[in-house]
Every structure is written in C-alpha cells, then in structure tokens.
A and B are shown apart, each in its own frame.
Chain A
Amino acid sequence: MLEQLNEKDFGTPRRIAEQEVTLEIDGMQVTVAAGTSIMRAAAESGVNVPKLCATDSLEPFGSCRLCLVEIEGRKGYPASCTTQVERGMKVRTQTPKLQALRKGVMELYISDHPLDCLTCAANGNCELQDMAGVTGLREVRYGYEGENHIHSQKDESNPYFTYDPSKCIVCNRCVRACEETQGTYALTISGRGFESRVSPGQDQPFMDSECVSCGACVQACPTATLQEKTVIELGQAEHSVVTTCAY
C-alpha cells in the first residue's frame, strides 16, 4: 500500500551542481551532484538507509540517528543525512555494528511509544513501524513502566487534523515543515531533553496558535502524531491523485 501511495523519499533534497562526485556505497560506484548527502546518493542507487527525521522535502537535521553509516578512514558513525559525499569515499550502510546501533535506537524509541499499532490510524503508513521492522526490533528490554508520554492529552481543536503528543518521536519534521515549507513558524519544541515535545504557539491548542491549517506539518509527520481526521475516520487511502492546492 505504502509503495503505491507514497512517492519514493530520497531523505534529503536534491542538490544541483555542475560538479559531480563519484564514491563507493556498499561496493557500488555511485555518481551524484556535489553537495548531495550520502543518504540521497545511496537512495538514488537503490540503497535505502533507515531514517526517521529525514525526508527529501526538508533540509537534513540529523537527530534520529538511524541513518548512521561507516566511512572508511573516518572515526565513529556519521549520520548519512548530514554528511555530504566526497570523491573516493567508501561508505558502508549495512554492517552488524550499524544494525546493532539502529536496533538500540529503535528500542529507545519504542520504550516511549504506545503499542497500539493495529488500531492506530497510521497503521500501514507509519515510518516508525517500518523502522521497527527494518531494524529487527523484537524486544524492548527497558519495559514500559518507565517515564513516558503515553498519557499525554490529545489536541483535537483543529477541524482537519489531530495532534497526539503520546506518539511524537520529536523528529522536528513538523516544526521544520512549518518553517521551511510554509514559513509560518507556528510550531516549536517546548522544553528540552526527555520533556521535549512539539508545541503549537505557547503550548496551546493548534487553533489558538499561529497555525494556518496548511497541513504541511501533517504531511511531514512520520507517525500518527499529526493525523488527518478523515484518515482517522475512514482509514488509509487506497489511491492518490495529484492536485495543486495545498489547502
């Protein structure tokens, strides 16, 4: 279903440059425009690096840490969304170490997320669900009794979509879409650390904030945190049509 409905997401925006760069990703020679991210270079050659905070309509952010890769001769595990390609670079996107790190990150995500996938409005169209599958997460050893956001109050003030903070993974895609796509700046992150949560205006209901209901944030959300009310009522769409108006 996902394949048909959603266009392929290359993770970071296309870069236009006269200069081209050739590098090696998982043993394949890949040539892309200079300034392209490793993530996009991989995606263009058919290698999908796991990701959650990256989407090709927004500038890379680097927060989810699922897209970590190994680069020969470089220390650590750089994020492929925020690292640009360089000539002759040798990148590996799939190794046992990377698999373990991604699984470790997913285990943390799911330790603060409701387990209602089957009845969730995003079921079948949820990137978090996809990534839990991709990373092979089978168990959350932290348990679910720890500190969490599961009982956060849902905001249904907007007529077109709902905001459910309990499902938020703080990827900032909505905040960035509001800034980069729409230029409204109606959203921020409130608090810091574990307390961080998306906040319209001053921790207000969407309708009392500076939100103009453009839907860019809903479009950008990888989970059911920002969800269209029609999807909640009717289920995931079975086909899509290209239109022009954002509203």
Chain B
Amino acid sequence: MSIKIFVPGDSAALALGADALAKNILAEAARRNMAVELVRNGSRGMLWLEPLVEVQTARGRVAFGPVSAEDVGALFDANFQNGGKHALNLGLTEELAYLKKQERLTFARVGITDPLSLEDYLAHDGFQGLRKALTMQPAAIVQQVTDSGLRGRGGAAFPTGIKWKTVLNTAAAQKYIVCNADEGDSGTFADRMLMEGDPFVLIEGMTIAALAVGATQGYIYVRSEYPHSITILNEAIAAARKAGYLGPNILNSGNSFELEVRKGAGAYVCGEETSLLESLEGKRGIVRAKPPLPAIAGLFGKPTVINNVISLASVPIILDRGAAFYKDYGMGRSHGTLPFQLAGNIKQGGLIEKAFGVTLRELMYDFGGGSASGRPIKAVQVGGPLGAYLPESQWDTPLDYEAYTALWAVLGHGGIVVHDDSADLAKLARYAMKFCAIESCGKCTPCRIGATRGVEVMDKIIAGQDTEAQVELLRDLCDTMLNGSMCAMGGMTPYPVLSALNHFPRDFVKKIPV
C-alpha cells in the first residue's frame, strides 16, 4: 500500500517553503524505494505550525510541524510515514485542541481534501447543496438563505437573502453573480485559504446563487496579490465545467451558468462593492453613488448579486443541511459561524471558525497562546484597517455584530490583529490615515483631502506641536470623514483613529524626555 502524505499548497505554507519540502519528501521516498502519494491539500489553518505535514495512518491523519525541507531525512528515519516518534510529531490532527474546539461549517473540507480533486469534494458532501437547489424553486432557495440568518461576511453584515430577493424580483434579460474576493484587510486570509483550500465550495455557492436569482454569468474578482488563489480557481472552474457542474447545462437541468476569474490591480477600495463593479467593467475603481443598489443596477447596469467569498461559500451547507441547522449557531442576530483570523503579534496565529459569541480573550489566549513576542498584549484591531482598536477592557465582549456596534467597533471580515505593548497607538492612528490616503479612490472630498490632512495632523501630534488644538482638529476631521464620506474607506478610517485616541490617550501626548 502506498503511503499518503499531505503537504499544503496554501500560500502561507508555500511562503514557508512547502514546495521545497514536498520535493524533498518525494526524492527521499524514491531514494528509499517507497511508493508515496503526495497530496497538496489546503491549510488546516494552524499557521504557526506551517508547513504542517500529515500522514495517513490506520488511526487517522498524524500531523508533523512546522517541518522544513531539511527535516525530511530524519522524519523518514523516524518512520514518520507510519506516525513514528519524532520531535515534530503533534499526534492525530483531529485531536489537536486548536482544531477540535472549532465549529467548522464553511471550512469543513479545507485542509482535509485535495482542493482540485472533484472526487474528493464529492466524497466529502460536495455538491449536495447544489443538488438540493436544483429541485427547488428560485424563491424557495432565496427563502432558505434568508431563513439561515446569513449576513454578508465581507464586513457590512447585510442579510444575504434580502440581497438575493431583490435581484430575483428585478426582471432583466441578464443578471450577474459577482464574488468579491478582493480581500485587502490586513489580518485577514479566510477568503484566500478557502479559495486555495476548497475552491469547489465557492463555485457551488455561486451556482446556487445563480439558480436562485436567474443569473447566467458569474465573476470572481480576486486581488492581484493572490496569484495562487487565481491559479487554483481557474483550474477548479475548468474541472467543474468539464464535469458538468458549470456550463450551458448544469447537471442536465437545462440551467446555464458560466464563471470567470478576474484579477484586480492593486486597489484596496475595489473591495467596496460599487468600486469593484466599476473595475470589473474595465474602469477606474471609483465608488458609485447608491442608489441605485447593485441588486437593481449593478454590473453593466444589470441586477447583480455581489457577495463576499465566505458568504457564498457558506450557502452550500445551508442548502444541504437546512436553514435551521445553520441558524442554530451564533447568538442574537448574528447567526452561524465566522472564520476568525488571528494574526499579527500572536504565538499561535491562524484560522478559527467559531459560532458568533466567542470573545477576543478566548481567541487570543485559549487559541492564540498570547503574544508571539511574549510581551503583554496592548491593543487589538478587529475588522481590518478600518476597524477599531480594542483595549483590554473590551476583550470579554462576545464577538457579535450588534455587541461590537455598541462598542463603536466592527467585526468586519473577522480579522484580528494583535499588538504587544511596544506598539505606539499614535503611530498606528497615523498609519490608518496614511493607508486611507494611499488607497482613497479620490472621488469624495472628505476622503481625498481629509486623509492627507489627517496624516499631517497626526505628524504634528506625534511631534508634540500644539497637541490640544491638533487633537481637536483631528476629532473634527474624523467627524467630517465619518459623516461626509461616500463609502467606508473615508467613512470608517475614523474608527481606528478615534478608538486609538480614546482608549490610548497617553500615546498621543508627546513624552517629554527627562
């Protein structure tokens, strides 16, 4: 019997030498005359352990990590292919607490299957949701999604079913499904991990969306910083089309749906849905005024469902297991699970899919094991570069859309960036303004000029020039940006800036050297 070894092909693993490692494993096996089946799976999401190698044993999959290319000889010597003893042996993967404590619905297959094997996908409940959808009326599919309580995972948390219903009820000869895979928030990688680890589930989710609203063409807009995601998606689309899951006659149902990947070009603002649509149309990624909503006049002026990767990838399990199953997870009006992404200065960073309601403290300490530097954690930015910085007093609030709104914070796309006590929050507030200045589309005045002035005001504050007056000006500027901007780029930059100022005021007062 051949030995089955898993070496992730996920970008994070590749960035840590997984390709060289895979090559060494094959070479070493050949040298030892062993037949090895090497699978390039997605990442399990325990990123501090990457590259995480797994071997299939009679007891289950055994994990080794982090493994470098140089470790390979010693691993074979230790009979690792049969789960042998070695310093890097972590035991059964499924028994690792980090994974065991999770509730993996959307990420159920990520890291387990071969991302490009349709056979593997089908063997792990793949296309069950689509098969159910094919037996349902469009309105019934929309109703399932509405009833599940699924809200937009890109950050805005708008109920997905309501969006779909508007598109369904808007008559048009052509409708579109657009997947927003312009995952630009620092501290987030859930979209990337999903596209690289289980691309078929996204394809399935988009196909269900197409059936639900009567769309025949879909686009996945992926940022240019994710070249591997683009490659994998293209291969997966070709495979799905060849097998009849996409194309002119999906599973002989008479329904047609074509899917294409489009590449961004270095513009964070294109994660804003109307900018993304402009970009897809081949234009400058300038924010559109709403109304009209994209659901009524979206891509090329046609009714368009535009959803984030995770929203769309959560649809198959909702259709497969039913709305009630999904809705049962979570708390309050935040139903289901969110793939949290623990990043930055953290010992055990990674992807943690949990039902809403878990707290930051649990994520950072129970899962994350505290800071990577070993120093005390000072501030946590939740929800990307437009999200607030949270001080320790807020770490016990359950992660829930409404609870975070009450804190004047956001969950966004679930990114969590940890900073230890060496962080200077005034510098981070300056960076928030700087990032807005770099990424502003330039359409509206509060964002176009405001962000640049914001950097200058922060420079004065950091230099200790006329601090009181500059802080007042900063607050006024934030008010103009918050209430006057066209979209979240300028409109939410005040979140990191003001939360830093309000929770860490001492960082904004220049320390006078003794």
Query: Which A residues contact B (CB, under 8 angstroms)?
Result: 60-65, 68, 76-77, 79, 82-84, 97, 100-101, 104-105, 107-109, 111-112, 141-142, 146-147, 169-170, 172, 188-189, 191-196
The number of chain B residues touching the other chain, given as a range, is: 20 to 34
Pairwise interchain contact A141-B442, C-beta atoms closer than 8 A = no
Distance in angstroms between the alpha carbons of A147 and B437 in the assembled complex = 12
Instruction: Using known A-B contacts A142-B456, A194-B440, determine if residue A105 contacts B446 with beta carbons closer than 8 Å.
Output: yes
What's the nearest-Cβ distance from chain B to residue A82, in Å?
A: 4
Contacts of A77 in B (CB 8 A): 483-484
Pairwise interchain contact B440-A192, C-beta atoms closer than 8 A = yes
Pairwise interchain contact A100-B479, C-beta atoms closer than 8 A = yes
Q: Which 3 A-B pairs have CB atoms at the shortest separation, nearest pair first?
A: A104-B480, A196-B442, A82-B289
Contacts of A170 in B (CB 8 A): 442, 445, 448
Pairwise interchain contact A63-B444, C-beta atoms closer than 8 A = yes
Pairwise interchain contact A76-B483, C-beta atoms closer than 8 A = yes
Contacts of A64 in B (CB 8 A): 444-445
Contacts of B452 in A (CB 8 A): 146-147, 193-194
- Prevailing SS type, chain A contact patch: loop
Find residues 260-319 in chain B having any chain A CB closer than 8 Å to their own CB: 267, 284, 289-291
Contacts of A196 in B (CB 8 A): 442, 448
Distance in angstroms between the alpha carbons of A62 and B444 in the assembled complex = 8
Instruction: Using known A-B contacts A105-B445, A142-B456, determine if residue A62 contacts B486 with beta carbons closer than 8 Å.
Output: yes
CB nearest neighbor in A for B441: A192
What's the nearest-Cβ distance from chain B to residue A106, in Å?
A: 9
Instruction: Using known A-B contacts A62-B289, A170-B442, determine if residue A192 contacts B456 with beta carbons closer than 8 Å.
Output: no
Contacts of A97 in B (CB 8 A): 483
Residue B477 interfacial (CB < 8 Å): yes
Pairwise interchain contact A108-B486, C-beta atoms closer than 8 A = no
Contacts of B439 in A (CB 8 A): 193
Contacts of A104 in B (CB 8 A): 446, 476-477, 479-480, 484
Query: Interface 1/0s, chain B 444-480, versus A by CB < 8 A?
Result: 1111111111001100000000000100010011011
Contact of B445 among A63, A189, A195 (CB under 8 A): A63
Pairwise interchain contact A193-B438, C-beta atoms closer than 8 A = yes
Pairwise interchain contact B444-A146, C-beta atoms closer than 8 A = no
Query: Which B residues contact A (CB, under 8 angstroms)?
Result: 267, 284, 289-291, 437-453, 456-457, 469, 473, 476-477, 479-480, 483-486
Q: Knowing that A112-B449, A194-B448 are A-B contacts, what are 17 other residue pairs whose CB atoms are under 8 Å apart, sorted by A's residue number?
A: A61-B289, A62-B289, A64-B445, A77-B483, A79-B486, A82-B290, A97-B483, A105-B445, A142-B457, A146-B452, A147-B452, A170-B445, A170-B448, A192-B267, A193-B440, A194-B440, A194-B451
Distance in angstroms between the alpha carbons of A61 and B442 in the assembled complex = 13
Pairwise interchain contact A146-B289, C-beta atoms closer than 8 A = no
Pairwise interchain contact A105-B448, C-beta atoms closer than 8 A = no
Distance in angstroms between the alpha carbons of A90 and B402 in the assembled complex = 28
CB nearest neighbor in A for B443: A63
Pairwise interchain contact B442-A194, C-beta atoms closer than 8 A = yes
Instruction: Using known A-B contacts A65-B484, A65-B485, determine if residue A108 contacts B445 with beta carbons closer than 8 Å.
Output: yes
Tell me which of A84, A97, A147, A192 has the highest count of chain B C-beta atoms within 10 A of its own C-beta.
Answer: A192
Distance in angstroms between the alpha carbons of A79 and B445 in the assembled complex = 13
Contacts of A60 in B (CB 8 A): 289
Contact of A101 among B267, B451, B480 (CB under 8 A): B480
Distance in angstroms between the alpha carbons of A193 and B284 in the assembled complex = 12
Distance in angstroms between the alpha carbons of A112 and B442 in the assembled complex = 14
Tell me which of B437, B446, B456, B484 has the highest count of chain A C-beta atoms within 10 A of its own C-beta.
Answer: B484
Contacts of B444 in A (CB 8 A): 62-65
Pairwise interchain contact B451-A105, C-beta atoms closer than 8 A = no
Distance in angstroms between the alpha carbons of A107 and B453 in the assembled complex = 11
Contacts of A108 in B (CB 8 A): 445-446, 449-450, 453, 480
What's the nearest-Cβ distance from chain B to residue A212, in Å?
A: 23
Instruction: Using known A-B contacts A104-B477, A189-B284, A193-B451, determine if residue A109 contacts B445 with beta carbons closer than 8 Å.
Output: yes
Distance in angstroms between the alpha carbons of A140 and B450 in the assembled complex = 13
Instruction: Using known A-B contacts A111-B453, A112-B449, determine if residue A101 contacts B442 with beta carbons closer than 8 Å.
Output: no
Contacts of A189 in B (CB 8 A): 284, 442
Pairwise interchain contact A193-B479, C-beta atoms closer than 8 A = no
Contacts of A141 in B (CB 8 A): 469, 473
Q: List 23 A-B contacts (CB under 8 A).
A: A60-B289, A61-B289, A68-B483, A68-B484, A77-B484, A79-B486, A82-B290, A104-B480, A105-B445, A105-B480, A105-B484, A108-B450, A109-B445, A109-B449, A141-B469, A169-B445, A172-B443, A192-B440, A193-B437, A193-B441, A193-B442, A193-B452, A194-B440
Contact of B442 among A79, A84, A192 (CB under 8 A): A192
CB nearest neighbor in A for B456: A146
Contacts of B441 in A (CB 8 A): 192-193
What's the nearest-Cβ distance from chain A to residue B36, in Å?
A: 50
Distance in angstroms between the alpha carbons of A84 and B449 in the assembled complex = 27
What's the nearest-Cβ distance from chain B to residue A57, in Å?
A: 18
CB nearest neighbor in B for A84: B291
Distance in angstroms between the alpha carbons of A105 and B438 in the assembled complex = 20
What's the nearest-Cβ distance from chain B to residue A113, in Å?
A: 10
CB nearest neighbor in B for A141: B473
Distance in angstroms between the alpha carbons of A61 and B289 in the assembled complex = 7
Pairwise interchain contact A65-B486, C-beta atoms closer than 8 A = yes
Pairwise interchain contact A65-B442, C-beta atoms closer than 8 A = no
Contacts of A101 in B (CB 8 A): 479-480, 483-484
CB nearest neighbor in B for A194: B452
Distance in angstroms between the alpha carbons of A105 and B444 in the assembled complex = 10
CB nearest neighbor in A for B442: A196
